């Protein structure tokens, strides 16, 4: 799940209201293999401390490259106390879920079970119809690249949880994806399919439903069978309506949009976000997934090429493929990523074109500030440019 606004700055979770005032603990550093890269454990810790100093309550990161595995954290796991952040801590990864779902769709295409050019109407007849919305004109490709023009009703719910009162009202929400699609279709489309780009969680709820129609299984079962199990992502779960996080984990917080006070949101059900953002993971597991994906272990070359074929999104230097975004780093390296935001967590990541080097960053202060987002972007740029010698 990601915030309602379609702008990349909002999408990347770097623009928000005032910074959360939080007490912070001492930095935590985990063991790492010897690294010959310029970006080392000390550099990672310094970058994490900068994110903490920008107002993030707690942050953990992992950088994996041919030179080794670096993991570190800064801040505290519990507001108001000096509690170390577990380096293998679980977190809600939000819209990183979308990349898993996109990979499954592309696997199904490789198997000849569907085509990216199939219409939504073909697989979900009558579901996207009314108020100018027409599933006959929207393709699966439009869904995965956010060019459908569909209104984001999922984002409306997320906005309601921006206050403590709203969180307590909606934290155990259960809602069928078809109901959320109906709420979306209740609005006129933002534009004709394929005309431009606009982020909408509804696209991936529909993609999940397409997976179910094409396979006869739930999208969760297919993600587990095709990705989680083969890659041995033992700490990655699709919890459905369960509001609990596996241990170990930090406490997570959201800043009240009305009072600016942080409140705890660790107990939260995101089953309604489904294929758009319900998954839970760790930095180690998410690193393994991104490296496997770009390293060609999940998709045939033809499908990976389609996944990395991009459209502009209206932000300088940013383009979007099928379930992931492309950016050019300061050193000229091409990186792929998909940020994620849920109440209580912001996840940022990037992996090099060859899949050899990845960085995962999880923050526990939501929605975050511009300064926190910029500090996170600097960490990612420093890490990938400091460990990557080739594009």
169 within domain boundaries = yes
347 vs 289: CA distance, rounded Å = 14
134 vs 119: CA distance, rounded Å = 10
Please name the residue ranges forming H helices in the chain: 8-11, 41-53, 96-110, 120-123, 140-145, 153-160, 164-170, 177-185, 202-215, 219-223, 283-294, 301-307, 370-387
299 within domain boundaries = yes
3 within domain boundaries = no
Q: Which domain holds residue 288?
A: 8-387
CATH number of domain containing 171: 3.40.710.10
- A 10 A CB-CB count for 312 gives 11
CB 145 within 8 A of CB 204: no
Q: With CA atoms as reference, report the closest residue to 103 among 240, 303, 238.
A: 303
In the prediction, which pLDDT does 11 show? 52
200 within domain boundaries = yes
What's the predicted TM-score (pTM) here?
0.92
Segment 274-299 mean pLDDT: 98
* pLDDT tens per residue, range 320-352: 999 999 999 999 999 999 999 999 999 999 999
* pLDDT tens per residue, range 161-190: 999 999 999 999 999 999 999 999 999 999
* pLDDT tens per residue, range 118-164: 999 999 999 999 999 999 999 999 999 999 999 999 989 989 999 99
198 within domain boundaries = yes
324: Cα separation from own chain's centroid: 9
- A 10 A CB-CB count for 135 gives 23
Rg (CA), the chain: 20
* pLDDT tens per residue, range 200-247: 999 999 999 999 999 999 999 999 999 999 999 999 999 999 999 999
Question: What is the tally of structural domains in the chain?
Answer: 1
48 vs 56: CA distance, rounded Å = 10
275 within domain boundaries = yes
Checking phi first, is residue 146 left (phi over 0); if not, alpha (psi -120 to 50) or beta?
Answer: left
In the prediction, which pLDDT does 368 show? 87
Is the pLDDT at 23 greater than 60? The verdict is no
Segment 103-125 mean pLDDT: 99
1 within domain boundaries = no
70 within domain boundaries = yes
């Amino acid at each position: 799940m990601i915030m309602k606004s379609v702008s990349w700055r909002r999408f990347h979770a770097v623009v928000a209201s005032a910074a959360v005032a939080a007490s912070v603990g001492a930095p935590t550093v985990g063991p790492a293999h010897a690294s010959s890269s310029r970006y080392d454990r000390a550099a990672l810790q310094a970058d994490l401390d900068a994110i903490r100093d920008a107002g993030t309550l707690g942050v953990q990161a992992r950088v994996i490259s041919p030179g080794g595995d670096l993991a570190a954290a800064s801040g505290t796991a519990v507001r108001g106390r000096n509690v170390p952040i577990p380096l293998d801590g679980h977190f809600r990864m939000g819209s990183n879920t979308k990349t898993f779902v996109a990979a499954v769709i592309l696997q199904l295409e490789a198997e000849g079970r569907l085509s990216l050019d199939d219409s939504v109407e073909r697989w979900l007849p009558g579901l996207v119809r009314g108020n100018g919305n027409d599933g006959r004109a929207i393709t699966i490709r439009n869904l995965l690249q956010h060019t459908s023009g569909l209104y984001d009703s999922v984002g409306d719910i997320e906005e309601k949880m921006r206050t403590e009162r709203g969180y307590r009202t909606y934290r155990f929400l259960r809602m069928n994806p078809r109901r959320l699609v109906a709420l979306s279709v209740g609005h006129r489309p933002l534009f004709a399919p394929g005309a431009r780009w606009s982020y909408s969680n509804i696209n991936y709820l529909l993609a999940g439903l397409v997976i179910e129609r094409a396979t006869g299984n739930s999208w969760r079962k297919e993600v587990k069978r095709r990705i989680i199990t083969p890659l041995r992502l033992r700490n990655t779960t699709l919890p459905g309506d369960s509001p609990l996080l596996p241990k170990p984990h930090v406490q997570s917080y959201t800043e009240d949009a009305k009072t600016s006070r942080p409140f705890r949101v660790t107990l939260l059900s995101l089953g309604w976000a489904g294929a758009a953002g319900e998954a839970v993971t760790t930095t180690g597991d998410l690193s393994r997934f991104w490296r496997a994906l770009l390293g060609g272990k999940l998709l045939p070359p033809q499908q990976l090429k389609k996944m990395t074929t991009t459209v502009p999104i209206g932000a300088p230097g940013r383009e979007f493929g099928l379930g992931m975004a492309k950016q050019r780093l300061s050193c000229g390296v091409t990186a792929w990523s998909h940020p994620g935001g849920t109440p209580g967590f912001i996840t940022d990541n990037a992996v090099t074109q060859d899949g050899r080097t990845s960085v995962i960053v999880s923050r526990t202060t939501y929605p975050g500030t511009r300064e926190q987002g910029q500090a996170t972007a600097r960490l990612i740029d420093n890490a990938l440019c400091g460990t990557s010698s080739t594009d």
